[in-house]
Amino acid sequence: MTEPIGPVDASVNPRYSGIATFARLPRIEDVPTADLAIVGIPFDTGVSYRPGARFGPSHVRESSRLLRPYNPAQDVSPFAAAQVVDAGDIPVNPFDLGEAVREVEVAATELGERAQRLVAIGGDHTLALPLLRAVTKRHGPVAVLHFDAHLDTWDTYFGAPITHGTPFRRASEEGLIDLTASCHMGTRGPLYSKQDLEDDERLGFAIVSSEYVEEHGVEAGIRRMLDRLGDRPVYVSIDIDVLDPSHAPGTGTPEAGGLTSRELLRMLRSLRSVNLVGADVVEVAPAYDHAQVTGIAASHVVYELVCLMAAQLADPQAS
């Protein structure tokens, strides 16, 4: 087996130099094969409030320059355990939302034939729908582990069925979601009505809210999350607004009272034994960020997901 090609050596080339691939990893075209691909999707036509998440992938890449090749919290060297690459961006139509969704599904399906796992950087949360369509072609219905301030199971906005607030309703209706094992984490804030919660449960989701984590603690939230997921294949979808605005101001629909970055990272690290089949990190809008606060948080979230998947690819029995 050929040794994986890792990131650019920061002792030879300063971190602030060179092309900003994620964590300074090789590009997909620079390696013979890839196990895990990180791909950007610069698209925000589905947003209902602040635009700007189309610039998220480049911002997260720039914010990832300080990431290092060994993760002591997980005791894994992800870039040595698997061939991890930056697959660049999926170019999508910014004027036609329906066409963009189709383009993402096709590109993610094709990329999934070159790499065993994908981690996508958005872009807005509309992207979860085509990404789920692509991943379920290989794995069937998946348990969706959804970190977000919001439910994203609303029906329509302005009569439009596909937006960043509706992807998981459409996914549930299309049979992409395991209705017995999916879970929202970190939800909070006002809703349109109590009916939103009733619809959400019918669509297949349980909820571990930010209030629950505050009252019972992170470990209790993790136990509820893992009990819900069971042994199903899991797709992780993370809206960066699950974090409190003090930890992630650069996002489109901020809500007070969110998780800290430390709490989110702890929750992700607890997924070591879960069969992760794909992931996305979305809604980073750099125009509202400062000092890369949101970008750094998002880059570490992506890194933790990569570490989990790389470890599982190296030792499939561990998941």
For residue 11, being part of any structural domain is answered with no
Using one digit for the tens of pLDDT, what is the confidence trace for 115-137?
Answer: 999 999 999 999 999 999 999 99
pLDDT > 80? residue 165: yes
For residue 13, being part of any structural domain is answered with no
> Which residues carry a binding-site annotation for Mn(2+)?
125, 148, 150, 152, 239, 241
For residue 16, being part of any structural domain is answered with no
For residue 15, being part of any structural domain is answered with no
Using one digit for the tens of pLDDT, what is the confidence trace for 234-285?
Answer: 999 999 999 999 999 999 999 999 999 999 999 999 999 999 999 999 999 9
For residue 122, being part of any structural domain is answered with yes
Using one digit for the tens of pLDDT, what is the confidence trace for 283-313?
Answer: 999 999 999 999 999 999 999 999 999 999 9
For residue 71, being part of any structural domain is answered with yes
CB 30 within 8 A of CB 5: yes
Task: Please indicate whether residue 315 or residue 219 has the higher confidence score (pLDDT).
Answer: 219
Domain count, the chain: 1
For residue 3, being part of any structural domain is answered with no
Buried b (16+ CB within 10 A) or exposed e, 140-162: ebbbbbbbbbbbbbbeeeeeeeb
Tell me what percent of the residues of the chain surpass a pLDDT of 70: 99
d(CA 39, CA 122): 9
- Model confidence, pTM: 0.97
> Which residues carry a binding-site annotation?
125, 148, 150, 152, 239, 241
d(CA 142, CA 243): 24
For residue 8, being part of any structural domain is answered with no
Q: What pLDDT, on a 0 to 100 scale, did the predictor assign at position 316?
A: 82
Q: What pLDDT, on a 0 to 100 scale, did the predictor assign at position 319?
A: 64
Domain that holds residue 92: 22-318
Give the domain CATH number at 113. Answer: 3.40.800.10
User: Mean pLDDT across the chain, nearest whole number?
Assistant: 97
pLDDT > 70? residue 20: yes
